[in-house]
Chains A and B, each alone.
Chain A
């Protein structure tokens, strides 16, 4: 469900499959665990292989945004398909400047 890479102080989490309340809890635990140990300058959440997302994905991004602020880093969201973008657009996330 998640593959991660760490390069030049950038942690990238490649998410895949369906993101709902159930899977978001697992992704959150996994990504936070890695981010807390590596303390990256930037966390990239890559949505390229996400086939479905409900509003749980918005909570996931907002939560990681806060988490990265606490760790002194930044967050970027990348490879968002138009279908998934519709849900992000409703949330005002664009105002945070995280949408890559």
Chain B
């Protein structure tokens, strides 16, 4: 399975692009022949990360969301979702299940919990006023 590949995408922080971004992520990994569950896991995790950029990073203001993907020769997929928005002061707190700063928008506070549950590895780097990068890693083809 020699599927070394990469892609870069940027799009405005409009909520209609949440579906676009996760569809691109799914299409990108398609030649690895993922299972239905693997595909759903990746789509869901990417959807959560992109929604965070739009709802929290840019707080519904306009900005650009960056999505990049890499596949290595072993079928390991890495997606990076980045915004240049407000950043997160306390990443550890933000990653606590049910913690949310957008309760009035009915955000459940489960975004990071879902990403962690559906990916092998989730890394978050953030700087207040500069933006946030979420890195999602998942090994495909393990059954």
Instruction: Please list the residues of chain A having a beta carbon within 8 angstroms of any beta carbon in chain B.
Output: 18, 20-22, 24-25, 28, 52-56, 58-60, 62-63, 83, 86-87, 90-92
Contacts and interface: CB of A to CB of B under 8 A. Distances in A.
Nearest to A59: B106
Given A22-B15, A55-B110, 15 more contacts: A20-B15, A20-B51, A21-B15, A22-B16, A24-B106, A54-B47, A54-B111, A58-B108, A58-B110, A83-B40, A87-B44, A90-B97, A90-B110, A90-B117, A91-B98
A22 B110 contact: no
B106 A62 contact: yes
B83 to A, nearest CB: 14
A70 to B, nearest CB: 14
A22 B113 contact: no
Contacts of A28: 106
Contacts of A91: 98, 108, 110
Interface of B: 15-16, 18-19, 22, 37, 40, 43-44, 47-48, 51, 54-55, 97-98, 105-108, 110-111, 113-114, 117
Main secondary structure of the interface of B (DSSP, over half): helix
B107 A59 contact: yes
Contacts of B106: 24, 28, 56, 59-60, 62-63
A31 to B, nearest CB: 12
A48 to B, nearest CB: 17
Taking chain A's interface residues, is the majority helix, strand, or loop, or is none over half, making it mixed?
Answer: helix
A25 B15 contact: yes
A86 B118 CA distance: 10
